[in-house]
């Protein structure tokens, strides 16, 4: 089930942000002074994607599971330029601090809107 896969991947990425592991490319919050990680969670999707709302709910649930608070931003991808700019792999795409939650997809350089 895709929902469980997304949930599991989000949990793994978020755990890496809590100090239980390292995730390459994570930015530290310069205002925190504690070494805590600043999270930027983005769900990229095309307009009218039926999976967007359930994916956002899964991401918010995963954040709650690991005790983190972060705003989940939804960015709509409307054209090829936006797909390239945001590294959009398909609708929906979940990124934490600019990295796809699926490590296997991070080296992909083929982006687009169908």
Beta strand pairing status for 72-76 and 41-45? parallel
Q: Please, what CATH class does the domain formed by 2-27+38-105 belong to?
A: alpha beta
- Give the model confidence (pLDDT) of 25-52 as tens digits: 444 343 344 445 578 899 999 999 999 9
For residue 87, what pLDDT is reported? 93
* DSSP-derived secondary structure for 14-48: HHHTTTSS--TTPPB-TTT-S-PBP--EEEEE-TT
């Amino acid at each position: 089930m895709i929902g469980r896969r997304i949930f599991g991947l989000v949990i793994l990425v978020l755990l890496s942000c809590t100090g239980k592991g390292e995730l390459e490319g994570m930015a530290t919050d310069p205002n925190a002074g504690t070494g805590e990680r600043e999270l930027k969670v983005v769900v990229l999707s095309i307009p009218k994607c039926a999976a967007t709302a359930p994916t956002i709910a899964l991401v918010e649930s995963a954040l709650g599971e690991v005790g983190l608070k972060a705003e989940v931003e939804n960015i709509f991808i409307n054209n090829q330029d936006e797909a390239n700019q945001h590294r959009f792999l398909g609708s929906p795409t979940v990124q934490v601090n600019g990295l796809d939650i699926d490590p296997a997809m991070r080296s992909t350089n083929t982006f687009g809107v169908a």
